[in-house]
A and B are shown apart, each in its own frame.
Chain A
Amino acid sequence: MSTMAVDDVAVSPVNEGFWTRARKAGLVLTVLGLLAVLLFTALAASEPARFTLSEDASGAALKINGTVGAALFGAVALAAGVAILAGLPKRWFTLVLGVGLVGFVVSFLCWQVSTAPAGQNFMPLVNIVRGTFILALPLIFGSLAGVLCERSGVVNVAIEGQLLMGAFSGALFGSLSGNLWVGLIAAAIGGTFISLLLAVFAIRYLVDQVVMGIVLNLLAVGITGFLYERLMQPDPAKYNSAPHFSNWEIPLLSEIPVLGPALFAGNIFLYLGLLLVLVIHIALFRTRWGLRTRSVGEHPTAADTLGVRVLRLRYRNVLLAGAVAGIGGASYTLALFSFTKNMIGGKGFIALAALIFGRWSPTGALLAALFFGFADQLATYLSAINSSIPSQFLAMLPYLATILAVAGLVGRVRAPAADGKPYIKG
């Protein structure tokens, strides 16, 4: 997110001497490792911490003494941090950083699980993984919507509104028709409606795209809240009782321990979301459409010179993004809950964070969404075992991580060059 404004301003250029970005990340990891080895180990109880491979305490489990586990995995994080600090070859950087972070998280978990009240000192991995994916789903759809828009140069802050509108129209038309697929299509159209407003005002009327996004979010909150109170609340049986997609178990694959029940026994939205990540990734980097989209997002004038219809492509991508986000909203109302006022509750903004954290790439966004989903699930789990860590601080994690990422402490994030700049031909 070093931006045009920043490049212009170029405030005190970063002196890349000894303290390269990699070394800074190494330093952070080293500090985290020290924290794990010293603090987590001291606080952990010398009780077994069990990580069961099922949904409850039963069955096979990975078991480790809390103190030993916290120390051991803390040491892994510390070692990784020191290795990076000492000047690791660049190609190993991502891998070692990942291993170090995982070590830190596992050390933390060893501490938490071992100090849980008796009878609760286990962590059901299936629940955790499944919860992570369920919580990450709207983020995945939302951040994909962001990728589609922003790669073609339109800032999409309206993800929240698109998700909400999708959730609402999915619930409304799903209930009225009693048909799942009608609901799903209606959800896509609902998201597209918000997108259409964004596209028309941003592309045709050149309104500031961030402003428009914020206003559209409020508009979506208002319209859905208003119609919810007028229609759904008085008569939920007619307007707010959409059928729900059931879970489809994929034979064989759903037998895989932990990942199977979590990943291959989900509903249509889970499969659709993962499929979309793959499709959009391939489309963006391997097809003509993708090349054009990226060129329009980076340098619309050049693309126009070569015969790409900049505005038409932008319209098309923004509308497509709305459909994707709308379906993401339906992953709530056509699978889990009935519609409630403002039910997206900020997920659209976390999706925006995932998009940025994932550096505007579909796979990056997926990983970021999963990380944020995991933090969310962990907060739920920790409050269930009466952890001493307040769940609110875990809930802050995605936001803080994004601030750190944008500030350049964890690698460099850069938006598409023409993101947010309207294209005026001529």
Chain B
Amino acid sequence: MTNAESGSPDKEPATTDQAARMTLDNTERAEPASQQPPERPALGRLFVANLWAANTFTVTLLSLVLAMIVGGILMIVSDPDVLATYSYITARPADALNASWALVSEAYANLFKGAVFDPDAVGLTAALSPISETLTYTAPLVFTGLSVALAFRGGLFNIGAQGQATMGVIAAGLAGFLLPLPAGLHLLVAVFAGAVGGAVWGFIPGILKARTGAHEVINTIMLNYVAVYFLVWLITQNGVQDPNRTNAISRPVDASAQLPRLFGDDLRAHAGIILAVLATWAVAWLLNRSTLGFELRAVGSNPAASRTAGISVTRTYVLIMVFAGALAGLGGSQMVLGTTAAALTPLVVAQIGFDGILVALLGRVKPWGVLLAALLFGALQAGGNRMQSYSGVSLELVTVLQALIVIFIAAPALVKAIFQLRAARAARPQTSLAKGW
């Protein structure tokens, strides 16, 4: 969608690094070297000047800040003790401010310690633990984020990543405990099964869109629920349900089908994150370097023109959804083959599909952007766990933060107005392309 509305999608920086580079690029473009080199302003100064402009990096950072401010306010108003100090704020304002600051700063400090680094940690394992947790939560989000982003670039809104991930987790889980295969091969088969499960679930809305024009947004929403009910039904069936349990939980996945751990047995980070980086690279290649990627972007920006140019729109729509489904299915498969859970339960996929939509938007629907956005979301998730257990601030706050970040990102004009940002030189403040049913 970014595609269609800003003529040159690839000109927008997606990352800190790119943003900085982009600023430099544009500087050079704006002031060609032939024009009196001595009067060229210092790159450093230009960089600083552009930093406070509405470019992607600044807007993203400020969105994060705004979201955390709103989150802080929520924490304060929901804490009766702190709120009580506000009843005499005119008499002793220091009380209210100190109490609020203590509450909010401690919570956010724990968020950071749980996600990045805890200065009090003793030993290598404890020091690596936050990073390991972050990577564990990041891996599946990269896949669902890529799934949504890929479909977006082709002009389709894949709200069905949740359902596709659900079918992926089912297929991967079944392959994980039903097939007696040797280690190594078993893992490959299980991961592949996850991709196929998701691809099938993506194919349905794709073919319906291509053949009947049924809108993919509606169909994917509906298929999300069909998938969940199918999962709930399946795990209580004979041969699937854990024979030692009466509640709805399947047999555990064989050890031979589990993704290997990266930092030893005490830390949860698993090889899924490596697959995620590979997938990001593959999607980036597919989008920017392959014929299919070109057709996909063409169809995404103008289906009618693409058809005139000889691209089969029908085929492209189906392929987009199959690829998107396979990616989401891979993400789902990690929920059971990784370390998050070893058996199928009704909530095994958690929210990764819906979070994937946010990740894709935050990553500006670009593969490497998605990777960074997933990293941020994974960090928030990991830190949120610590915030919940150490500060007693509910994990739901993370959902609020994530939603708010994306809301602010989606309306850069708002962020620009709040902070009185300069108009960006590098990239126009972009609004999402609004389009109908």
Query: How many residues does chain A have at the interface if contact means C-beta atoms less than 8 Å apart?
Result: 64
B344 at the interface (CB under 8 A from A): no
Near A by CB (< 8 A), chain B positions 388-427 give 393-394, 396-404, 406-407, 410-411, 413-414
Q: A211-B410, A396-B230 are in contact. Are A422 and B434 (CB under 8 A)?
A: yes
The answer on a CB contact under 8 Å between A4 and B233 is no
The answer on a CB contact under 8 Å between A403 and B437 is no
The answer on a CB contact under 8 Å between B211 and A421 is no
The answer on a CB contact under 8 Å between B229 and A396 is yes
The answer on a CB contact under 8 Å between B229 and A406 is no
The answer on a CB contact under 8 Å between B436 and A155 is yes
The answer on a CB contact under 8 Å between A400 and B397 is no
B253 shortest CB reach to chain A, Å: 23
Enumerate chain B residues within 8 angstroms of A215, measured Cβ to Cβ. 357-358, 361, 403, 406-407, 410
- Which stretch, A100-108, A220-228, A246-254, touches the partner chain B? A220-228
B319 at the interface (CB under 8 A from A): no
B432 shortest CB reach to chain A, Å: 4
Enumerate chain B residues within 8 angstroms of A14, measured Cβ to Cβ. 212
Enumerate chain B residues within 8 angstroms of A177, measured Cβ to Cβ. none
The answer on a CB contact under 8 Å between A11 and B210 is yes
A8 at the interface (CB under 8 A from B): yes
B-side binding surface: helix, strand, loop or mixed?
helix
A316 shortest CB reach to chain B, Å: 19
- Closest-by-CB residue of A relative to B411 is A205
The answer on a CB contact under 8 Å between A207 and B432 is yes
A399 at the interface (CB under 8 A from B): yes
Enumerate chain B residues within 8 angstroms of A7, measured Cβ to Cβ. 213
The answer on a CB contact under 8 Å between B223 and A403 is yes
Enumerate chain B residues within 8 angstroms of A202, measured Cβ to Cβ. 434
B157 at the interface (CB under 8 A from A): yes
A386 at the interface (CB under 8 A from B): no
- Closest-by-CB residue of A relative to B79 is A230
The answer on a CB contact under 8 Å between B226 and A396 is yes
Which listed residue (B225, B413, B434) contacts A396, Cβ 8 A? B225
Near B by CB (< 8 A), chain A positions 5-20 give 5-9, 11-12, 14
Q: A399-B222, A403-B223 are in contact. Are A218 and B403 (CB under 8 A)?
A: yes
A56 at the interface (CB under 8 A from B): no
Near B by CB (< 8 A), chain A positions 174-205 give 197, 201-202, 205
The answer on a CB contact under 8 Å between A399 and B78 is no
- Closest-by-CB residue of A relative to B225 is A399
A308 at the interface (CB under 8 A from B): no
CA of A407 to CA of B215, assembled, Å = 8
Q: A1-B437, A212-B410, A225-B394 are in contact. Are A11 and B314 (CB under 8 A)?
A: yes
Enumerate chain A residues within 8 angstroms of B159, measured Cβ to Cβ. 210, 214
Enumerate chain B residues within 8 angstroms of A45, measured Cβ to Cβ. none
B1 at the interface (CB under 8 A from A): yes
Inter-chain pairs besides A5-B155, A207-B410, A393-B229, 18 sampled, C-beta below 8 Å: A3-B436, A7-B213, A9-B307, A11-B210, A155-B436, A207-B411, A208-B1, A210-B159, A216-B407, A219-B403, A219-B407, A226-B397, A226-B399, A349-B221, A403-B222, A406-B215, A420-B434, A421-B436
